[in-house]
Chains A and B, each alone.
Chain A
Amino acid sequence: MLPEYAGLVDPVVELRAACLAAVAWLGETGPVEVVADAQGRRVAEALLAAAGGLVSTSSTPDVVETPEGKAAPEAPSAYLVVANGSARRGEKAPGHLDERAAGFDERLGRALRGPDLEALAGLDEGLGAELLVGNTTGLRELGGLLTAEHRAMVDYDDDPFGVQYWVMRWQCES
C-alpha cells in the first residue's frame, strides 16, 4: 500500500481500489482521525493523500487561521482504522500456518459485520500478537467508536497472501 514499495505491476489491485474508494467516502464527511500503529499510520496517510489530497487530523495544525481569528480545528467526524486479520492463514503466509488463525478471523469478521461491540472491545491481544494480527489494539478501539446504530458495509473480504484483509465502512443510521 505504500508508494515507496510500488512495483511495475500492482499485486493488490482490487484491495487498493476498495481502500481508496472507502477512504474517499470517509473524507467526504469532514476531518478524518487515524487509528493505527506507526506503520499503519503511514499507510493511512498514503491512502488519504492518494484519495484526493486528504490529510488526517494529526497532520493538521493544533490551531488554524480562520476569518474570525485563530481557532481549534474542526473535530473529527470520521475515523480510519488501519488493521488486518491474521497473517498466519496458510503455509505460504508470512507467518506460516497457525491452525487457530481461521477461527480467530472468522470470529473477528463476524464481530466487524455485526458490529458486535463487546466482541471487538474484548479481543485477545496476546492471541492477536501470536497470530500476527495487524493492530489488535486498534480493533479493540474500533469497538469503542462504533455504536449499536452503526451498520457495516463490506467492500472487500479476502486473504490473497495468507493474510486476511477486510475493507469495511460503518455508517451511523440514526
Chain B
Amino acid sequence: MTLKLGRHEFADDATLMMAIVNRTPDSFYDKGATWAEDKAFERVAQVVAEGAEIVDIGGIKAAPGVEIGPAEEMERVVDFVARVRAAYPSLVISVDTWRASVGRAVCEAGADVLNDAWGGADPGLVDVAAEFGAAIVCTHTGGVTPRTRPYRVEYDDVVASTITDTVGYAERAVAAGVSRASVIIDPAHDFGKNTFHSLEVTRRLGELVDTGWPVLVSLSNKDFVGETLDLPVGSRLAGTLAATAVCALAGARIYRVHEVVETRQVVDMVWTIAGRRPPARAIRGLQ
C-alpha cells in the first residue's frame, strides 16, 4: 500500500529517514544543541542535504524533567513548523507530541505527521490527524504516563503486547477517520521497556512487519544500545547501526535517527541484501 504522509506519498517498498530535530534545551543526545531556533533550522538544512525525507520536530524531551505545558510546547514548535514548511515544501514534517491541542496547532502550521511517542495518552490526537489528513505514528508504551521511565515493567510477551496495543491504536485511528495509508506503528524501543524487552522487540521485529502496518523504529543512541555495549551516549553509533540492520532485514520502513547518512547506508545495504532494492551501480564481474 502506498504510504501517505500528509501531502506526500511514497511507494510501498520505500525506506524513509526521519531525522530528529529537537527544539528542547535538554534532550539526551544533543543536550540543547538545537534549542535556539536558528540552530534547529540549521539542523533541518543539514539533514535535508543528507537526504532525510522526514524531520521529526519535538518540543519536549521524552525523559522526566521540568513540566512543559501545552502553551510552552506550542511556542517551541508551531512557528518553527511554519518556517520549515515554507522553506522546504517537499519535506515531510512530523511533530513529536502526544497532545491533541499541540497536534492541531502544528497541523494548521503545515505538519504532515503526528508522532505520538506516548501510545495514545491523549485520545483526541487521532481526531486531529483525521481532520487534517495527517499521518499518525502509533507507539507501544505499555500504557505508561508520558515522560515516565519504565520501572520493573513485566510482560507475558512483550511482542504480543506491542502488537496488540499498536494495532489496536492503528484501528482506533482508522475508525476516527485517518486514512489506512497514513497509519504507522512503532514498537517504541526503551519506552515502557527494559533493555531485554527492547532487544526482544528488535529480534522479533518481523512479527510487527507481518501485521501489514508500516513499521517505524526509533533506535538511535538509546539506552538499550548503551546498556548492551556498556557505552555512554556519544559512543553508541555502531550499536545503533547494528540494531538498524536487524530491523531493516525484518522490513522496517521508517528510521527515526540522529545520524542520517550512516543509517541510510546501512538501510540501503540491508534492503539490497534482502533483494528489495537493486545495487546502485553494478559492473564488477559483469564487464
Contact = CB atoms under 8 A, between A and B. Distances in A.
Residues of A contacting B: mostly: loop
A94 interface: yes
B276 to A, nearest CB: 13
Contact of B287 (A7, A9, A161): A161
A62 B277 CA distance: 40
Nearest to A1: B286
Point out which of A93, A161, A162 has the most chain B C-beta atoms below 10 A from its C-beta.
A161
A85 to B, nearest CB: 11
B279 interface: yes
A163 B283 CA distance: 12
| Of B277, B283, B285, most A-chain CB atoms within 10 Å | B283
B281 A94 contact: no
A11 B281 contact: yes
A134 to B, nearest CB: 10
Contacts of A162: 287
Looking at B283, B285, B287, the one whose CB has the most chain A CB atoms below 10 A away is B287
A162 B277 CA distance: 28
B274 to A, nearest CB: 15
B287 A5 contact: no
A8 to B, nearest CB: 5
B278 A6 contact: yes
A8 B280 contact: yes
B282 interface: yes
Contact of A9 (B277, B280, B285): B280
B285 A7 contact: no
A87 interface: yes
B287 A163 contact: yes
Nearest to B280: A8
A12 B287 CA distance: 9
Nearest to B282: A7
A11 B282 contact: yes
Contacts of A6: 278, 282
A141 B283 CA distance: 28
A161 B279 contact: no
B287 A94 contact: yes
A161 B280 contact: no
Nearest to A93: B287
Nearest to A12: B283
A93 B284 CA distance: 10
A2 B285 CA distance: 13
Nearest to B283: A11
B159 to A, nearest CB: 34
B282 to A, nearest CB: 4
Nearest to A132: B287
Interface in A136-174: 161-163
Contacts of B283: 11-12, 161
29 contacts: A2-B286, A5-B282, A5-B286, A6-B278, A6-B282, A7-B278, A7-B279, A7-B280, A7-B281, A7-B282, A8-B277, A8-B278, A8-B279, A8-B280, A8-B281, A9-B280, A9-B281, A11-B281, A11-B282, A11-B283, A12-B283, A87-B287, A93-B287, A94-B285, A94-B287, A161-B283, A161-B287, A162-B287, A163-B287
- What 9 A-B pairs have minimum CB-CB distances, sorted nearest first? A161-B287, A7-B282, A9-B281, A11-B283, A163-B287, A7-B279, A7-B281, A8-B280, A7-B278
Interface of B: 277-283, 285-287
